[in-house]
Copies of this chain bind each other. A is one copy, B any other.
């Protein structure tokens, strides 16, 4: 047992134990919920701990147990403001429940393995992938290299059998979107998706086009922006519409997410000099803060982030072991 009288500035459980007149293990129990300890012992320990400024060392605790209470938040798409919303919500909720969040940047495919390695070296209890540009094959490769306890794909779909997916229900969402557009009289949609990844199945696009086909019997053309960013979206939409007559234009651009939709609106307004929604309507997905600004007033669909985060907590606690898709909320504004 260490001498509690030494002059080191770090206060350990031994110091508190000496001050409270109990053993080190009783101190640990005082800080552990549902531990077998008498009320008076706990109170005495807590009082001594406060007097000494003691707080359990979570790093040492992680080493001794096999839980780190650390979650790696892995993301790559820092151009999309929606990431900021996701990060904010996740970190806030996770920390409030005792989980720490390690923010990891995953730039490209080669980097995926490095990111997962870095996370595993920190003994994270789970890695949560928050992103849109992830290749399923890449993830599988990276997973093979480094075994993590849990891998959760958040706010995106994945076909990978070794992962758990928590996402917004794109099927409900896109059908509602299609119903809304049909009701408003739109008949010639074009779907604007993000970069064309190989293995990730694009739920939003396929759901929308198939449902539209089903309801109207007409085919929905689709195009891809080179990145989930407004710049490439502007370029792609400008190229699409540049030389078309009014009769030849789509009447609505259905975009895979808000940041692309905003690029589409910018192209329509500032590159082509047309009006939204009078000349062409636009819809998005995510409901990022900017979408509610007077400049855009975008019709979109809000993901149920808080509910999704609650699901993540259940997954982390082992109470939930299957994929989840939650319905969000349709938001009608001025662009349709």
Binding site for B on A (CB under 8 A): 9, 53, 55-60, 62-63, 68, 73, 78-79, 81, 83-85, 87-88, 91-92, 95, 100-105, 107, 117-118, 120-123, 145-147, 229-231, 234, 262-263, 265-266, 269-271, 289-290, 293-295
CB distance from A224 to the nearest CB of B (A): 20
Asked if B104 contacts A102 (CB within 8 A), the reply is: no
In the assembled complex, the Cα of A169 lies from the Cα of B120 at a distance in Å of: 39
B290 & A270 in contact (Cβ 8 Å cutoff): no
A57 touches B100 (CB 8 A): no
Chain B residues whose C-beta falls within 8 Å of the C-beta of A55 in the assembled complex: 117, 120-121, 146
Report how many copies the assembly holds.
2
Inter-chain contact B100/A105, CB cutoff 8 Å: no
Contact across chains for B91 and A84 when beta carbons are under 8 A apart:
no
Please determine whether B122 and A100 come into contact, CB atoms closer than 8 angstroms.
yes
Q: B101–A103 contact, CB under 8 A? A: yes
- The secondary structure that dominates the A interface is helix
Residues A100 and B118 in contact, CB atoms below 8 Å apart = yes
Contact of A78 among B85, B107, B147, B231 (CB under 8 A): B85
Given A102-B103, A229-B289, output 8 extra A-B contacts at Cβ < 8 Å.
Answer: A9-B147, A53-B146, A55-B121, A55-B146, A73-B103, A88-B105, A91-B104, A100-B118
Bound-state Cα–Cα, A87 to B84, Å: 9
Chain B min CB distance to A32 (Å):
14
Chain B residue contacts of A62, Cβ below 8 A: 59
A138 vs B59: C-alpha distance in the bound complex, in angstroms?
Answer: 27
Collect the chain B residues with CB atoms within 8 Å of residue A81's CB: 81, 84
Who on chain B is nearest to A119 by CB? Answer: B100
Given contacts A78-B88, A88-B78, contact A57 B295 (CB under 8 A): no
Residue of B with least CB distance to A267: B294
Residues of B within 8 A of A102 (CB): 100-103
> Knowing A294-B270, A295-B295 touch, does A56 contact B107 (C-beta < 8 A)?
no
CA gap between A95 and B145 in the complex, in Å: 19
**Chain B neighbourhood of A92, CB < 8 A:** 105, 107
Chain B, residue nearest A118 (CB): B95
Give the complex CA separation of A83 and B78 in angstroms: 10
